[in-house]
Amino acid sequence: MQRPPPGNLDELALVIRAFAEERDWDQFHTPKNLAMGVAIEAAELMEEFHWLTPEQSVRLAPEKLEAVRHEMADVLVYLVLLADKLGVDLIAAAAEKIAINAGKYPADTVRGKATKYDKY
């Protein structure tokens, strides 16, 4: 019987942790290895878009979208594992970073611009 999908990041972390423990993989899940896994899987996600035009990248064929979904999931799994290992609340960290970025990028100053905060 298949379980329903996790409803939040904490539940996802429990599922991923159990998956790794069943395979005795926790021994390999050091922060260094997990951070490298995030980068590697992010590169595999980028590879799915390599050579596509901007227009093609927003209109993916179903099989390409499935491959992109799977690579996105791999990135998320590694990131959730890393956060779990380090005791980081990803939702709180994201909210904090958005607040920091709001200070760096005031909407009335940067609207419609793709310029780094120290270049405008």
pLDDT tens for each residue of 25-55? 999 999 999 999 999 999 999 999 999 999 9
Tell whether the model's pLDDT for residue 1 goes beyond 70: no
pLDDT score for 102? 95
DSSP string, the chain: -PPPPPSSHHHHHHHHHHHHHHTT-GGG--HHHHHHHHHHHHHHHHHHHTT--HHHHHS--HHHHHHHHHHHHHHHHHHHHHHHHHT--HHHHHHHHHHHHHHHS-HHHHTT----TT--
Of 60, 38, 39, nearest to 48 (Cα)? Answer: 60
Q: Where are the domains of the chain?
A: 9-108
- 105, 117 Cβ separation under 8 angstroms: yes
Tens digits of per-residue pLDDT, 80-119? 999 999 999 999 999 999 999 999 999 999 999 988 878 7
What mean pLDDT value characterizes the chain?
Answer: 95
Tens digits of per-residue pLDDT, 50-87? 999 999 999 999 999 999 999 999 999 999 999 999 99
pLDDT score for 85? 96
Domain 9-108, CATH: 1.10.287.1080
